[in-house]
Amino acid sequence: SAVISQKPSRDICQRGTSLTIQCQVDSQVTMMFWYRQQPGQSLTLIATANQGSEATYESGFVIDKFPISRPNLTFSTLTVSNMSPEDSSIYLCSVEDRGYTFGSGTRLTVV
């Protein structure tokens, strides 16, 4: 199955700033998915990223807050913009590869 490298693994950020999270896959994949896991909660899909088109956002998530890039079939970034403490979560990327494979996650703390 695919191997995903996600970074950074964790970060502590000041409110009002932005953080960009990167995911690199070791094979070409059509769709990449970005999830948020708030403290003690399950995973919620933020958006689906296809190469060459704009990401598709789920209800409650907007491009201005979570801009996504997908420049090629092995790479994607998620930016968390204008952060507030409520954005403190684990963010994970995922690909569908004979079962959905997940990156190790980015643990974000906003202070």
Partner 1 sequence: AQSVTQLGSHVSVSEGALVLLRCNYSSSVPPYLFWYVQYPNQGLQLLLKYTSAATLVKGINGFEAEFKKSETSFHLTKPSAHMSDAAEYFCAVTSSYKLIFGSGTRLLVRP
The residue within the footprint of partner 1, chosen from 25, 36, 80, 105 (CB under 8 A), is 105
Asked if 68 contacts 76 with a C-beta cutoff of 8 angstroms, the reply is yes
Asked if 34 contacts 90 with a C-beta cutoff of 8 angstroms, the reply is no
Among candidates 67, 73, 23, 74, which has minimal Cα distance to 51?
A: 73
User: Which residue is associated with the tokens 């974000």?
Assistant: 108
61 touches partner 1 by CB under 8 A: no
Q: How many CB atoms lie within 10 A of CB 76?
A: 29
Q: Which of residues 3-32 bind partner 1 (CB under 8 A)?
A: 31
70 touches partner 1 by CB under 8 A: no
* Stretch of residues binding partner 1 (CB under 8 A), selected from 14-22, 69-77, 79-87, 98-106: 98-106
For the CB of residue 96, give the shortest distance to partner 1 in the complex, in Å: 7
Summarize as ranges the residues that interact with partner 1 (CB under 8 A).
Answer: 31, 33, 41-45, 48, 92, 94, 96, 99-105, 107
